[in-house]
Amino acid sequence: MKITFVTSNTGKLKEVKDKLEPLGIEVVGDKVYYPEIQTDSLREVARYGAQWLKNRLEAPFILDDSGLFLSALEGFPGVYSAYAYGTIGNRGILNLMNKKGDKRAEFRTAAALVDPNEKIHIFEGVCKGSVIGEERGKNGFGYDPVFIPEGYEITFGEMSTEEKNKISHRSLAFHEVYEYIKEHFSVEFDIS
Protein backbone atom coordinates (compact mmCIF):
# COMPACT_ATOMS: atom_id res chain seq x y z
CA MET A 1 0.00 0.00 0.00
CA LYS A 2 0.94 3.65 -0.36
CA ILE A 3 0.80 6.33 2.33
CA THR A 4 1.50 10.07 2.29
CA PHE A 5 3.95 11.46 4.86
CA VAL A 6 3.44 15.19 5.34
CA THR A 7 6.77 16.85 6.15
CA SER A 8 9.01 19.58 4.86
CA ASN A 9 12.01 17.83 6.42
CA THR A 10 13.86 15.59 3.92
CA GLY A 11 15.80 13.92 6.75
CA LYS A 12 12.57 12.74 8.36
CA LEU A 13 11.26 11.53 5.01
CA LYS A 14 14.38 9.44 4.40
CA GLU A 15 14.12 7.83 7.84
CA VAL A 16 10.43 6.99 7.45
CA LYS A 17 10.91 5.63 3.93
CA ASP A 18 13.82 3.45 5.11
CA LYS A 19 11.69 2.23 8.00
CA LEU A 20 8.38 1.48 6.26
CA GLU A 21 9.29 0.55 2.69
CA PRO A 22 11.06 -2.73 3.57
CA LEU A 23 7.86 -3.56 5.50
CA GLY A 24 5.81 -3.15 2.31
CA ILE A 25 4.45 0.38 2.78
CA GLU A 26 5.38 2.86 0.06
CA VAL A 27 5.92 6.34 1.50
CA VAL A 28 5.29 9.45 -0.60
CA GLY A 29 6.45 12.80 0.79
CA ASP A 30 4.18 15.86 0.69
CA LYS A 31 5.36 19.32 1.79
CA VAL A 32 1.85 20.75 2.14
CA TYR A 33 1.62 23.39 4.90
CA TYR A 34 -0.18 22.82 8.20
CA PRO A 35 -0.18 25.03 11.30
CA GLU A 36 1.83 24.00 14.38
CA ILE A 37 0.03 25.30 17.47
CA GLN A 38 1.77 26.50 20.63
CA THR A 39 1.15 23.96 23.39
CA ASP A 40 3.37 21.98 25.74
CA SER A 41 2.45 18.64 24.16
CA LEU A 42 3.84 17.12 20.94
CA ARG A 43 0.70 14.94 20.78
CA GLU A 44 -1.53 18.00 20.64
CA VAL A 45 0.62 19.66 17.96
CA ALA A 46 0.44 16.49 15.84
CA ARG A 47 -3.30 15.99 16.47
CA TYR A 48 -4.15 19.58 15.60
CA GLY A 49 -2.10 19.42 12.38
CA ALA A 50 -3.79 16.15 11.37
CA GLN A 51 -7.23 17.56 12.16
CA TRP A 52 -6.52 20.69 10.12
CA LEU A 53 -5.28 18.67 7.13
CA LYS A 54 -8.18 16.20 7.19
CA ASN A 55 -10.41 18.34 4.97
CA ARG A 56 -7.54 19.33 2.71
CA LEU A 57 -5.65 16.11 1.99
CA GLU A 58 -6.77 12.68 0.95
CA ALA A 59 -6.46 10.09 3.75
CA PRO A 60 -4.61 7.97 4.70
CA PHE A 61 -1.68 10.18 5.64
CA ILE A 62 0.82 10.61 8.47
CA LEU A 63 2.74 13.51 10.00
CA ASP A 64 5.10 13.74 12.96
CA ASP A 65 6.00 16.36 15.50
CA SER A 66 9.29 15.81 17.30
CA GLY A 67 11.61 17.53 19.72
CA LEU A 68 14.70 17.32 21.90
CA PHE A 69 14.03 17.59 25.64
CA LEU A 70 16.96 18.57 27.90
CA SER A 71 16.68 17.71 31.61
CA ALA A 72 18.93 20.55 32.81
CA LEU A 73 16.75 23.07 30.93
CA GLU A 74 13.43 21.68 32.22
CA GLY A 75 12.62 20.10 28.89
CA PHE A 76 13.65 23.02 26.66
CA PRO A 77 13.72 23.19 23.64
CA GLY A 78 11.01 20.44 23.56
CA VAL A 79 7.97 21.68 21.65
CA TYR A 80 10.02 24.74 20.65
CA SER A 81 12.72 22.61 19.00
CA ALA A 82 12.10 23.87 15.46
CA TYR A 83 12.21 27.50 16.61
CA ALA A 84 15.32 26.95 18.74
CA TYR A 85 17.09 25.12 15.95
CA GLY A 86 16.28 27.89 13.48
CA THR A 87 17.46 30.65 15.83
CA ILE A 88 20.25 29.51 18.18
CA GLY A 89 21.01 26.18 16.44
CA ASN A 90 23.26 23.46 17.85
CA ARG A 91 25.88 26.06 18.84
CA GLY A 92 23.29 27.83 21.00
CA ILE A 93 22.20 24.57 22.64
CA LEU A 94 25.84 23.71 23.37
CA ASN A 95 26.35 27.14 24.95
CA LEU A 96 23.25 26.77 27.13
CA MET A 97 24.43 23.31 28.25
CA ASN A 98 28.09 24.25 28.67
CA LYS A 99 28.08 24.72 32.45
CA LYS A 100 25.36 22.17 33.22
CA GLY A 101 26.39 18.99 35.00
CA ASP A 102 23.24 17.12 34.00
CA LYS A 103 23.60 16.19 30.32
CA ARG A 104 20.52 13.96 30.11
CA ALA A 105 18.40 14.46 27.02
CA GLU A 106 15.68 12.67 25.13
CA PHE A 107 14.20 12.85 21.67
CA ARG A 108 10.44 12.38 21.41
CA THR A 109 8.18 11.88 18.41
CA ALA A 110 4.39 11.99 18.22
CA ALA A 111 3.19 10.56 14.89
CA ALA A 112 -0.40 11.21 13.79
CA LEU A 113 -1.98 8.71 11.40
CA VAL A 114 -5.21 9.72 9.67
CA ASP A 115 -6.92 6.50 8.58
CA PRO A 116 -9.13 6.13 5.47
CA ASN A 117 -12.19 6.94 7.63
CA GLU A 118 -10.43 10.14 8.68
CA LYS A 119 -10.02 8.98 12.27
CA ILE A 120 -6.81 10.21 13.94
CA HIS A 121 -4.47 7.87 15.83
CA ILE A 122 -1.40 9.10 17.75
CA PHE A 123 1.71 6.96 18.31
CA GLU A 124 4.72 8.03 20.37
CA GLY A 125 8.38 7.11 20.55
CA VAL A 126 11.13 8.17 22.97
CA CYS A 127 14.91 7.79 22.73
CA LYS A 128 16.90 8.56 25.87
CA GLY A 129 20.50 9.71 25.83
CA SER A 130 22.69 12.71 26.50
CA VAL A 131 23.96 15.86 24.88
CA ILE A 132 27.71 16.18 24.34
CA GLY A 133 29.87 19.29 24.37
CA GLU A 134 30.56 19.52 20.63
CA GLU A 135 29.01 18.66 17.27
CA ARG A 136 30.04 15.29 15.92
CA GLY A 137 29.13 13.67 12.60
CA LYS A 138 27.70 14.80 9.29
CA ASN A 139 24.79 12.37 8.98
CA GLY A 140 21.20 12.91 9.95
CA PHE A 141 19.82 16.39 10.53
CA GLY A 142 18.84 18.90 13.20
CA TYR A 143 20.18 18.05 16.66
CA ASP A 144 21.64 14.69 15.59
CA PRO A 145 25.33 15.78 15.87
CA VAL A 146 24.99 16.69 19.58
CA PHE A 147 22.98 13.68 20.81
CA ILE A 148 24.37 10.32 21.96
CA PRO A 149 21.72 7.66 22.58
CA GLU A 150 21.93 5.57 25.75
CA GLY A 151 24.31 2.61 25.40
CA TYR A 152 26.27 4.17 22.52
CA GLU A 153 29.45 6.22 22.20
CA ILE A 154 28.66 7.87 18.89
CA THR A 155 26.12 10.57 18.05
CA PHE A 156 23.11 10.16 15.77
CA GLY A 157 25.12 12.38 13.42
CA GLU A 158 27.77 9.67 13.20
CA MET A 159 25.24 6.90 12.49
CA SER A 160 23.78 5.74 9.19
CA THR A 161 20.02 6.01 8.77
CA GLU A 162 19.86 2.25 9.23
CA GLU A 163 21.65 2.47 12.60
CA LYS A 164 19.57 5.43 13.80
CA ASN A 165 16.41 3.62 12.76
CA LYS A 166 17.24 0.69 15.06
CA ILE A 167 16.75 2.84 18.16
CA SER A 168 15.33 6.25 17.36
CA HIS A 169 12.21 7.93 18.76
CA ARG A 170 10.85 8.26 15.18
CA SER A 171 11.52 4.64 14.34
CA LEU A 172 9.71 3.49 17.50
CA ALA A 173 6.69 5.71 16.80
CA PHE A 174 6.52 4.57 13.17
CA HIS A 175 6.83 0.97 14.21
CA GLU A 176 3.57 1.48 16.08
CA VAL A 177 2.11 3.11 12.95
CA TYR A 178 3.17 0.04 10.96
CA GLU A 179 1.66 -2.36 13.50
CA TYR A 180 -1.61 -0.42 13.41
CA ILE A 181 -1.74 -0.41 9.61
CA LYS A 182 -0.90 -4.12 9.44
CA GLU A 183 -3.61 -5.02 11.94
CA HIS A 184 -6.44 -2.75 10.80
CA PHE A 185 -6.11 -1.57 7.22
CA SER A 186 -6.65 -4.78 5.25
CA VAL A 187 -9.57 -5.84 7.47
CA GLU A 188 -11.39 -2.52 8.00
CA PHE A 189 -10.49 -0.62 4.85
CA ASP A 190 -9.58 -3.39 2.40
CA ILE A 191 -6.15 -1.83 1.82
CA SER A 192 -3.07 -4.04 2.06
Among 170, 173, 174, 177, binds ligand ITT (CB under 6 A): 170
Among 76, 141, 180, 189, binds ligand ITT (CB under 6 A): 141
Among 16, 48, 65, 93, binds ligand ITT (CB under 6 A): 65
Shortest Å, Cβ 135 to ligand ITT: 12
Site for ligand ITT in 111-130 (CB under 6 A): none
Among 106, 115, 144, 158, binds ligand ITT (CB under 6 A): 144
Q: Does 186 bind ligand ITT (CB under 6 A)?
A: no
- Contact call for residues 192 and 182 (beta carbons, < 8 A): no
Among 69, 70, 73, 81, binds ligand ITT (CB under 6 A): 81
- Contact segment (CB under 6 A) with ligand ITT among 5-13, 20-28, 114-122, 175-183 equals 5-13
DSSP the chain: -EEEEE-S-HHHHHHHHHHHGGGT-EEEEE---------S-HHHHHHHHHHHHHTTSPSSEEEEEEEEEEGGGTT-BGGGHHHHHHHTHHHHHHHHHTT-S--EEEEEEEEEEE-TT--EEEEEEEEEEEE-SS---SSS-TTGGGEEETT-SS-GGGS-HHHHHHH-HHHHHHHHHHHHHHHHIIIII---
Number of other residues whose CB lies within 10 A of the CB of residue 97: 20
Please work out the total of residues on this chain that contact ligand ITT, with binding judged by CB under 6 A.
Answer: 20
Contact track, ligand ITT, 12-51, x by CB under 6 A:
x---------------------------------------
Shortest Å, Cβ 63 to ligand ITT: 6
Residues that bind ligand ITT (CB under 6 A): 7-9, 12, 64-67, 81-82, 85, 107, 140-144, 156, 168, 170
